[in-house]
Amino acid sequence: MTDLNRRAAAILTVDLGAVVANWTQLRDRVAPAECAAVVKADAYGLGAAHVVPALRAAGCSTFFVAQFEEALVVRAAAPDARVLSLGGLPQGSEADFVGNRIWPVLNHLGEVAAWRRFAHAQGKALPAAIHLDTGMNRLGLGPDELDALVRAPEWLDGIDLRCWMTHLACADEIESPVSAQQLGRFRAALAQLPTAKASFANSSGIFHGPSFHFDLARPGCALYGVNPTPHTANPMRGVMRLDARILQVRSIDSPATVGYGAAHRVEGPTKIATIAVGYADGYLRSLSGRGHVHVDGVAAPIVGRISMDLITVDVSGLPDHAAQPGGLVELIGPNRLVDTVAAEAGTIGYEVLTSLGPRYHRVYSDPYAPQ
């Protein structure tokens, strides 16, 4: 154990081998389609600078981010990979995209026109993807813009179109009719447009079957262990654990309250462990009085409000040796799955992961080390 591991208030351990195993599983599921990796928001909070080289070494050659600055991180971590930025083409950024070999996902005809103009000025066709909105009403060319493109395909002159893409609104809801509707709209659009590759499925979409795979799948959350099939057992491996240090254990003998707002009241003898994690670490405040941690293999309830740097846990049910100052408790990990923590917090695994804070001491396993 390093000094930092010993000193650290909380330790985030990322198993890059599990990320790679999850990507490999999805790659095999979508073959012969290509499997990309969505690594926006710093690889969903787990660290793009670590995740990207591991996936690249495993054979992943296409990465999606949301923003240009994120694309630069991927470009540095995987110099020969294809990098696409989902957030479009910010005004005046064309030269930055070209200079760093980043492909914009063009989200409206204004961006298509700007890319075309820049390509003409450069005297060469420039690669890009185009996002079609099939029902999310968020990003992508809407029905009118699609019609305009179908009527005048010269919009695409000078654009080296690598991919048409769209995004599912309800992929994780197996009963929802929306995915089939979007599939129909995407197919109808592709039938009218110049031929290029197509990309449709996110993590959950991959599990809808081959008709959703097209040429390029774009999984994100499943790579990081979030269940892409919430209606059934999680087919993915857990990839991270988060442990935090017990700072104090105190015994309360008579009726008293715990923490801010005196929000938790104990009536009789109670043992409270104070643990070094809080909302400043992205440990969601909505877990106040609702969440659990695992102490020596036993679930113990978070009591009182989560504060900036601390949480309080009722460890009355545990033997003294299990909860000792200096020891670690499991906040997320094999006993407390990301999706379970998310459900307790009233949110989704994506938010739990992307909230993981900068103060954690981060430890990355080497996916290629002998097991």
Ligand X SMILES: Cc1ncc(COP(=O)(O)O)c(C=O)c1O
Which residues are the active-site residues? Answer: 40, 260
The residues that bridge with 328 in the sheet, in sequence order, are 245
Q: Which is nearer to ligand X, 45 or 259 (CB)?
A: 45
CA neighbor of 244 nearest in space, from 301, 290, 294: 294
Q: What is the DSSP string of 253-286?
A: -SSEEESGGG-EEE-S-EEEEEES--GGGT--GG
Long-range contacts of 314-323 (CB under 8 A, 24+ apart): 314/266, 314/270, 314/271, 314/272, 315/249, 315/271, 315/272, 315/273, 316/269, 316/270, 316/271, 318/271, 322/295, 322/296, 322/298, 323/246, 323/249, 323/271, 323/273, 323/295, 323/296
Distance CA 27, CA 37 (A): 10
Q: Which is nearer to ligand X, 38 or 276 (CB)?
A: 38
DSSP state of 322: G
Q: How far is the CB of 166 from ligand X (least distance, A)?
A: 8
Q: How far is the CB of 172 from ligand X (least distance, A)?
A: 7
Q: How far is the CB of 140 from ligand X (least distance, A)?
A: 9
Binding site listing: 138, 308
Q: Which is nearer to ligand X, 198 or 302 (CB)?
A: 198
Structure tokens at 57: 């070494």
Which residues does 232 contact at the CB level (< 8 Å), separation at least 6? none
Q: Which is nearer to ligand X, 140 or 158 (CB)?
A: 140
Q: How far is the CB of 160 from ligand X (least distance, A)?
A: 21
Which residue, judged by CB position, is nearest to ligand X in the bound state? 220
- Interface with ligand X by CB under 6 A: which residues? 38, 86, 167, 202-204, 218-222
The residues that bridge with 311 in the sheet, in sequence order, are 275
Q: How far is the CB of 129 from ligand X (least distance, A)?
A: 10
Structure tokens at 167: 């995004």
Q: Which is nearer to ligand X, 218 or 241 (CB)?
A: 218
Q: How far is the CB of 267 from ligand X (least distance, A)?
A: 44
Q: How many CB atoms lie within 10 A of CB 77?
A: 21
Binding site listing for substrate: 138, 308
Distance CA 196, CA 125 (A): 15
Structure tokens at 275: 């643990």
Q: Which is nearer to ligand X, 219 or 304 (CB)?
A: 219
148 touches 189 (CB < 8 A):
no
